[in-house]
Chain A
Amino acid sequence: MGEVAGLMGGLGVLVAAVALSERNWAGVARGLVVQRRRTLLPDLLLIRLGVVTLPVVAVLAALVLPVGERAVLDLGVGIVWFNAMEVGAWAAVWLAGWGANSVFPLVGGYRFVAQGLAYELPHMFALITVALGAGSLRFGEVVAAQRGLWFVVWMPVAFLVYVISALAMAFWGPMGEPGGAGIAGGVTAELSGPDRLVFLAGRYALLVVAAAAAVPLFLGGGAGPWLPAWAWTAVKTVAVLALFAGIGRRVPAVRMDRFMTFAWMVLIPLSLLQLLVVGIVVM
C-alpha cells in the first residue's frame, strides 16, 4: 500500500502546486463557496458524469506509473492502459460541453473532439515507438530498457509528439482552445462552484499525470545518482511541468483548422519515420 500512498500523495501535491502556481488559491476557495448553477434544460447526468470523469481518468491513468521502483498497478499492458484511460478525457470534456445546453460549452466540446482527431494518432505512434524500443508494454520494463540511454535521446520526435499531445489531452496552454478565452471559457463557461473546481482540478491532474508519464517513457524513470528513485521521479516530473509552463507562456493557442493539416501531413509521417528507425535499430 506504500505505492498507493506515495502515488496519491505525490499526485496531490503536484496538482495542488500546479493549481496554486497560477495564483489560484482564491479560485479554489471560490470553488468551495460559490453556488452551483444550472443552465436552461441541461442534461445534468451528462454534465456531472463529465465533470467527475476527468479527475477519475487522470488517477486511473496514474495507477500504472512507477513511483520509484514499482507501480501501484504493475500491468503487463501498462502503456495500453495509460492510453485507454487518458482517452476517457474525450468523453469527459464532450459530455460536460454537450450537457450544459449552451453555445460556448458546446463549441468547446466540438473543438476538443477535433483536437482529439489531430493529436491522438501521433500520440499513439509515439507510445508504440517507446514500446517497440523497450520490447514491452510494461512501464517497469520500459524504464529498465533505458539504463544505457534515455529514450528522449534517440527518439526525439516521439518525445516532441508526446509533449504536444500531453498539452492537447489536458487542453492546456497552446492546446487550450476547447476552454479558450474567445468562447468565454468554452467547456467551463457554464460551470460554477464545486463543478468548476472538480473539473479544473481534473484538468490539472491530467496535465500532471501526462508530465509524470513522460518520466518512465522518455526520461529514464527513477534512474539517477544519489537520490532515491521516487525523488528522481518527482524531480523529473517537475522539470517536465516546467517545460509545459514555459511553452504555455511562449506559444499562443493553436487552432485545429490549421493544426489538423500539420498533424496529419507532418506529425504522423514523422512519428511513423521515428517508429521505422527505432524498429530497424531494435532488429
Chain B
Amino acid sequence: MAQHNLSTVISFEFFRTVGKKRFWIGTLAVPFIMAVVFGLLYASNTATDSAADAQKSAEFSISYTDASGLITPEQAGVFGATTAASAEEGLSAVRSGSVDAFFDFPADPATEAVKVYGADQGLFENNKYSAVAQAMLTRAVDARIGSAELSTLAGTEATVDLKTYRDGVEAGGFMSAVPPLFFLVIFYGLIILLGGQMLSSTLEEKENRVTEMILTTLKPTTLISGKVLALFAIGLLQMVIFSSPVVIGYLFFRDQINIPDFNLSALVFEPVPMITGFLILVGGFALFTNTLVAIGAIMPTVKEAGNYMAVMIALIFVPFYAVSLIFSNPQALIVQVFTYFPFSAPVTALLRNGLGSLGAVEAAFVIAILYIGAVLMFFLAVRLFQYGSISYASRVNIKTALSSGRRTPGIAGTSKS
C-alpha cells in the first residue's frame, strides 16, 4: 500500500527532469569541460616531453668560484660555466642580470654549504640552480674518485644554500609565496560562500515580484552596482569573521590551545606579488559576481539557475586538473589556456602568482582580461536585468535581449495587457 503510485511518481519526477534542456546543459557541461581539459593535458604533455628533453640540454649562463679545487675548468665547461674573479663579482653579475646563476663552492663541500645565487624564476623553477650546482660537484667528485659506483657509495649530497634575485633584490623564497596564496584561499572562500547569494540577488526581486516597484525608484545600474558592492562588503566581512578565531587564538591563546607554531615574522610580503594577487582577487571576484548576477537576471527561479551555478563552481576547480603542470611547466599549453580563460584565470593566475611563475606581462594581461570581462559582464547583467527582471515566468532569451532596444522587451516579453 505504501508503494501505491510510487512508480508513477518516480517516472514523473525522473522524466520531467531529464526532459529539460537545462538539465542536459548542466550535466553535459561537466564531461565536456573534462574532455577539453584532457585534450589540453594531452597536448601539453606531448609538448612537455619535448620541453623536458630540451631542458636537459638547455643552458643558462653560469659563473662560479671554487675554493675546494675539485672542479676543473673542463668539467665546468660541460655545464657552460665560466669562472668568476670573486664571489662578489659573481653575485654582482647575478644581481645585474648579466649572468643567470653564480655558484660559490666552498673549500670543504662536505661540511660547508654550496652557495647558489640565481635570477628568480619562481618557486619550483629555481630548483634547477641547485640541481645543476649539485651535478657539477658530483661530476667533479666522480672524476676524482674514478669510479661512479665508488662515488655513489661514498657520496652524500652537498648542502646547497640557494638565494634568488629579482630586479636586483633578493627574492623571498617559500615564505614569500605564502602571502600571495592567501588571495587564492580568499577567492575560493568568497565564491563558495557567496556564489548562491550572488545568483539569487537578482532572482529575489523577480521571484518576489518586487522589480517594478524597485525600478520606479532607482536605475537598474544603481541596483546592480549596489548589489555587487554589498556582496563585496559581505564577502570581506565573512573572511574577517572566519579568520578571526585563528588570528585571535594565535595571538592571545597560543599557549593554551594547540596551534602549530608558525613564525609569522618569517613571512615575506613582497609588494609586486601582493598587489598582483589583490588585483586578480578583486577582478576575479567581480567577474564571477557579475556573471552570476547576469545568470540570475535571465532565470525565472533559483532552482532553474542552479544548474548554471554548478558549471560556474566547476570552473574554479578545473585548473586543479593541471596543477602538476602549473607547478612544473607554467608555459604548458593547458596552463596558458587556464591562465587566460577568464573563468579559470583567477585560480590559475593566483596560484602562479604565489609560486612566482606569473611574469609581469602575463599578470598585466590576466588582470586586464578579468577587469574588462567584469565590466562587460556588469553591463550584460544590467541589460539582462532591465530586460529579464519583469519576465517573471520564463527564461529570457539572451539574443533577443541584446538585440532589443534599451529596456524594450522582445517578443518573449511578459507584458500582460
A-B complex is real: no
